[in-house]
């Protein structure tokens, strides 16, 4: 092991069940600063780590409302306040017509909120992350499943944790350097 600072320990598993299993065990063990990596979304894993993030829907709702208000305001301001014109004898405030741009802006803003919100909350884009230092981690996007316990974890002790992880029957356990 080189002198580089340790980020945590990583265990590689062959199949999803093992990972979910390991994750559960790790949490029962009392580890809190840990994360699991899989090549596709696994709901069981979310429960195992019991992640309950309800921010995103709120963000999207906010975006939608903002978009709606902005859209209608635009229509109204242009056609009623800024430059009212007699167009085909229609009233300046032609509400039914304004609904459509309003609807579209609602969707647009909400969609942006969803995407940017997701990226933002996930802290993406993030070109560098310690886990990438593990060569085998490249397989996380292919066919392998990884559990990583961070050194920040209060219960973390290199040797104990290493032993614990080995107990979970991983394919291999590796150091993750910063």
Partner 1 sequence: MKSTVDSQQSTAGGPDIAEARTKLGQLRGREYWRSLEELLETEDFREHLHREFRVPIESAVNRRELLTLMGASIALAGLTGCTRQPTERIFPYVKAPEELVPGEPLFYATAHVHGGYARGILAKSYEGRPVKIEGNELHPASLGGTDVFAQGSILNMYDPDRSQTLTERGQIRPWSALLAAARLALEKERAGRGAGIRFLTGTITSPTLEKQIGEVLAAFPEAKWVAWEPAGRDNVARGALLAFGEPVEPRYAFDRADVVLSLEADFLGSGPAMPRYVRDFVSRRKAEGTNRLYAVESTPTLTGAKADHRRPMSPAEIEAFATAVAVAVGAIASAAVTNQFVEAVAADLEAHRGSGLVLVGESQPPSVHALAHAINETLGNAGKTVTYSGPVAGGPADQAEAFAGLVKDMESGKVSTLVIVEGNPVFTAPADLGFAKAMEKVGLRIHLGLYDDETSRLCHWHVAQAHPLEAWSDARAFDGTVTILQPLIAPLFGGKSAHELLAAFSDQPERTGHDIVKDYWNGRLPGADFELAWRKALHDGLVAGSAYPAKPVRVRQDFFKSEIRNPKSDIGLTLLFRPDPTIWDGTYANNGWLQELAKPLTKLTWDNAALIAPSTAQKLGLTTEDVVELTLDGRKVEAPVWVMPGQAENCVTVHFGYGRTRGGRVADGKGFDAYALRSSNALWAGLGLEIRKTLRRATLATTQHQYGMEGRDPVRAVTAEEYRKDPAVVARMGEQPPGPKDTLYPTLPTGSYAWGLSIDLSSCVGCNACVIACQSENNIPVVGKEEVARGRALQWIRVDRYYKGGLDNPETVHQPVTCMHCENAPCEVVCPVNATVHSAEGLNQMVYNRCVGTRYCSNNCPYKVRRFNFFLYTDYTTEILKMVRNPDVTVRSRGVMEKCSYCVQRINRARYAAEKEDRPIKDGEIVTACQQACPAQAITFGNVSDPESRVSKAKAESRNYGLLTELGTRPRTTYLALLSNPNPALPAANKAGEGHGGHD
Partner 2 sequence: MTERTPTPPAEKPATPPGAILAPGYTFTTLTDKLASIALSRRTPVVWFLGAAVGFGLTMMLLATITYLVFKGVGIWGVNVPVGWGFDILNFVWWIGIGHAGTLISAILLLLRQPWRNSINRFAEAMTIFAVACAGLYPLLHTGRPWLDYWLLPYPNTMGMWPNFRSPLVWDVFAVSTYATVSLLFWYVGMIPDLATLRDRAKKLWAKVLYGALAMGWRGSARHWQRYETASLLLAGLATPLVISVHSVVSFDFAAGVVPGWHSTIFPPYFVAGAIYAGFAMVLTLAIPLRKVYGLEDFITMKHLDNMAKILLATSLIVAYGYGVEAFMASYSGNVYERYVMWNRMNGPYHYMYWALLFCNVIAPQALWFRKVRRNIPALFCLAMIVNVGMWLERYVIIVVSLSRDFLPSSWGMYHGTRFDWSMFLGTIGLFIALLFLFIRMLPMISIFEMRAILPEAKIREEEA
Contact positions with partner 1 (CB under 8 A) in 74-133: 85-91
Residues 27, 29, 33, 38: which binds partner 2 (CB under 8 A)?
A: 38
Asked if residues 109 and 66 have their Cβ atoms less than 8 Å apart, the reply is yes
Options 5-13, 32-40, 151-159, 162-170: segment touching partner 2 (CB under 8 A) = 32-40
Specify whether the CB–CB gap between 60 and 116 falls below 8 A.
Answer: no
Backbone angles phi, psi at 147, to 5 degrees: -120, 130
CB of 89 to partner 1, least distance (A): 4
Residue 89 touches which of partner 1, partner 2, none (Cβ within 5-8 Å per kind): partner 1
Q: Is the dihedral of CA 44, 47, 49, 52 positive or negative?
A: positive
- Applying CB under 8 A, the span of 3-11, 42-50, 151-159, 160-168 interacting with partner 2 comes to 42-50
Q: Does 140 bind partner 2 (CB under 8 A)?
A: yes
CB of 79 to partner 2, least distance (A): 6
Q: Of residues 93-112, which lie at the interface with partner 2 (CB under 8 A)?
A: 94, 97-98, 100-101, 103-105, 107-108, 110-112
Binding of partner 2 by 65 (CB under 8 A): no
86, interface contact from partner 2, partner 1, none, CB < 5-8 Å by kind = partner 1
Give the separation between CA 139 and CA 142, rounded to whole angstroms.
Answer: 5
Q: Can you list the pairs that 69-73 forms with residues at least 24 positions away whose Cβ atoms lie under 8 Å?
A: 70/105, 70/109, 71/98, 71/101, 71/102, 71/103, 71/104, 71/105, 71/106, 72/98, 72/101, 72/102
Closest CA to 12 of 22, 25, 3: 22
Contact flag: residue 51 with partner 2 (CB under 8 A): yes
Among 4, 17, 167, 169, binds partner 2 (CB under 8 A): 17
Q: Which uninterrupted H or E stretch holds 5? A: none
Rule CB under 8 A: which residues touch partner 1? 85-91
């Amino acid at each position: 092991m080189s002198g580089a600072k340790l980020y945590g320990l990583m265990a590689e598993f062959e199949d999803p069940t093992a990972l979910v299993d390991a994750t559960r065990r790790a949490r029962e063990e009392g580890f809190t600063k840990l994360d699991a990596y899989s090549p596709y979304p696994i709901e069981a894993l979310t429960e195992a780590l019991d992640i309950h993030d309800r921010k995103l829907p709120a963000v999207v709702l906010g975006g939608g409302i903002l978009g709606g208000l902005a859209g209608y305001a635009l229509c109204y301001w242009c056609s009623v306040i800024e430059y009212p014109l007699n167009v085909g004898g229609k009233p300046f405030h032609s509400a039914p017509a304004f609904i459509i741009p309003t609807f579209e802006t609602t969707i647009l803003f909400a969609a942006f909120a969803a995407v940017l919100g997701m990226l933002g909350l996930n802290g993406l884009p993030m070109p560098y992350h310690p886990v990438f230092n593990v060569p085998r981690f490249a397989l996380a996007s292919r066919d392998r499943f990884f559990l990583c316990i961070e050194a920040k974890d209060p219960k973390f002790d290199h040797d104990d944790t290493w032993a614990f992880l080995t107990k979970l029957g991983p394919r291999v356990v590796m150091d993750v350097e910063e």
